[in-house]
Chain A
Amino acid sequence: MRTRHPILRFIAAVALSMGTLGAQAQLTIEITGAGSNRYPVAIANFENEGALPRSVTEVVRGDLERSGLFNLIEVGSAPMGEAALPDFIGIKARGADAVSTGTVAPADAGRQEVRFRLYDTQKQVSLGGMALRTSPNQYRATGHRIADFIYEKITGLPGVFSTRIAYVLKNGSRYELQIADADGQNAQTALVSREPIISPNWSPDGTRLAYVSFEAKKPVIYVHTLATGLRQVAANFRGSNSAPAWSPDGNRLAVVLTKDGQSQLYSLNADGSGVRRLASSTGIDTEPAWSADGAWIYFTSDRGGSPQIYRIPSSGGDAQRVTYEGSYNVTPRPSSDGKNLAYITRNNGRFQVAVMDLASKQTAILTDSNRDESPSFAPNGRMILYASEYGGRGVLAAVSVDGRVKQRLSGQAGDVREPAWGPLPK
């Protein structure tokens, strides 16, 4: 009996942890490549951090570390409060060019106020700070906002740690449209179906997703309000309805319909009204995506014989060919800063993520995998999230536009696919 008890306890522990994982599925991020010049920064523990259920500075460090752009310098476990100046010389000697300090203090209605400040250790000056009132269980969101602040102060670009991602998890014959924080945590299921779900696309205000569901035995476009779960059919015409893409002003959806023959581009309102044809071709036109300024619609077309990327003025007009290298270039996704275009190219039989500098037309292949799909830019234009394959399973991966920073996000089970990176929070 003595020998059996520990085993039983072990089994019980495994069963418990499996139950927890099942109830709260989340993605785990692994860093597979980092930037070459990582900025050395120290995130000291905040004063009175124990008032929160978990360490908020751990969240900040994790975010900055995973971005691949920062080198986290260890400064010991002693907290550094927000009110006092840090020991610049000592911290500089450890190699940190910047340091953050902070204090957690009780506020009204059971909330906590988190005050923090960022300093340049060379110039010995404050780079600014913030005070955030938070309910204790919101410590992760608070950490992401602090990390966003530090990221922006140091890189000059907005941080994307407070954003969300959407993706489809396929487990056997079960499909789930999930929404998670950008670090893969807090995954929530927006839709469960026995039929495939593809092509999720965020409304610019982050409140709605358009996607294609096959629950009616054919592709139909839905618009789904995340907070309420309310779903509305946006396009269910005769034939197939697919590839929804919101316009940057949130007023229109570019879509692909086959109601008048083959796969062609149209635009319509989110409630399905006001259908207008965008282009006409004798081949396939699909995968529309608006440029950030709303002036252009990029799309895939085989009008020239092989699938290539083209663009048309969103107000109508002639198509211009965008890609020329190779015989298979698909899924164009312009960055929100208007500088780059991510897409998938076939390279010696392997499907990989490529990026084009739209000003110089220079292209580069960023990945070395075999089956990459569905690239999606982070809203600051620095990282590209895409679907890939690892260990025989569908996973998400992210690569920086310079190809240096690489991350992989995988689930506990099943195939993760069809990622879409949401907008910056308001």
Chain B
Amino acid sequence: MRNALLISTLAAAVLAACSSTPTGDGTGASVEDRGTGGSVARVDAGQPSGSGIAALRDPKSILSKREIFFDFDSYVIREDAKPLVEAHAKFLVGNPTMKMLIQGNADERGSREYNLALGQKRADTVKKTLVLLGAKEGQIESVSLGEEKPRCSDRAEDCYAQNRRADMLYSGEF
């Protein structure tokens, strides 16, 4: 517990250093540079490699994409989301100390507690698929935010569709 705290504090310090570095053209390159820096070596002890974190944050990497959208009343992963789930499964397999929190969401119609259960069903589906693809069960916790944290609060179908979603967060991001 103490180590985990120390490591996450260090990781946060590294990330903060990255984001505060002034760069001309966005943060992508600067994150790569810092990933090989001295302070990251300590984060390496028992936690993901610096290059792993960079890939998770690099907008050019598929791993920077963390959202899985679902159809109305549906809890199966759509064809168009499968490459994303596969990429994250591969990352988890290659980084066995990395932990993931999956937060399921639901649109706002109906009971809050029932919607919490629907969001859980979506998070569970993503978790099951990742485990089927080789990730370890203990690496992933699936939880639900139900309708409580909507990304979009208009009352229209395209908005509801954005809220029927599961988000994948890695260690240090939650």
Contact = CB atoms under 8 A, between A and B. Distances in A.
Contact of A330 (B114, B120, B148, B149): B114
A158 to B, nearest CB: 29
B117 A256 contact: yes
Given A286-B116, A344-B111, A219 B143 contact: yes
A287 interface: yes
Given A217-B101, A300-B114, A198 B174 contact: no
A100 to B, nearest CB: 42
Interface string B127-141: 000000000000001
Contacts of A374: 111-112
A239 B114 CA distance: 15
Given A240-B143, A258-B142, A262-B124, A217 B111 contact: no
Interface in A254-309: 256, 258, 261-263, 284, 286-287, 300, 307
Nearest to B138: A238
Contacts of A307: 110-111, 114
Contacts of A239: 120, 141-143
B103 interface: yes
A217 B149 CA distance: 10
A325 B112 CA distance: 21
B163 interface: no
A239 B141 CA distance: 6
B31 interface: no
Given A196-B149, A218-B101, A240 B113 contact: no
B47 interface: no
B109 interface: yes
Interface in B83-137: 101, 103, 109-114, 116-118, 120-121, 124
A214 B120 CA distance: 14
B118 A351 contact: no
A396 B117 CA distance: 24
Contacts of A163: none
Interface in A148-203: 196, 198-199
Contacts of B120: 239-240, 258, 262-263, 284
Given A196-B149, A240-B144, A286 B109 contact: no
Contacts, number: 94
B63 to A, nearest CB: 20
Q: Which of B116, B148, B149 has the most CB of A within 10 A?
A: B116
Q: Which of B101, B117, B121, B143 has the most CB of A within 10 A?
A: B117
A263 B117 CA distance: 6
B145 A214 contact: yes
B109 to A, nearest CB: 7
Contacts of A240: 116, 120, 143-144
Contacts of A238: 141
Contacts of A198: 112-113, 116, 146, 148
Interface residues of A, number: 31
Interface in A369-413: 373-374
Given A196-B148, A214-B148, A239-B142, A262 B112 contact: no
A331 B148 contact: no
A413 B110 CA distance: 23
A287 B114 CA distance: 7
Contact of B112 (A256, A263, A418): A418
Contact of A284 (B110, B117, B174): B117
B78 to A, nearest CB: 20
Contact of B111 (A256, A262, A373): A373
B110 A287 contact: no
Contacts of B114: 284, 286-287, 300, 307, 330-331
A88 interface: no
A323 interface: no
A198 B113 CA distance: 8
A328 interface: yes
A200 to B, nearest CB: 12
A243 interface: yes
A284 to B, nearest CB: 4
Contact of B121 (A217, A219, A284): A284
A26 interface: no
The 10 closest A-B pairs by CB, nearest first: A196-B148, A218-B143, A263-B117, A330-B111, A284-B117, A286-B117, A243-B113, A240-B144, A287-B113, A217-B174
Interface of A: 196, 198-199, 214, 217-219, 238-240, 242-243, 256, 258, 261-263, 284, 286-287, 300, 307, 328, 330-331, 344, 346, 351, 373-374, 418
Interface of B: 101, 103, 109-114, 116-118, 120-121, 124, 141-146, 148-149, 174
7 contacts: A214-B145, A217-B101, A219-B116, A258-B143, A286-B113, A330-B114, A351-B109
Given A240-B120, A261-B124, 4 more contacts: A218-B143, A258-B142, A330-B111, A373-B110
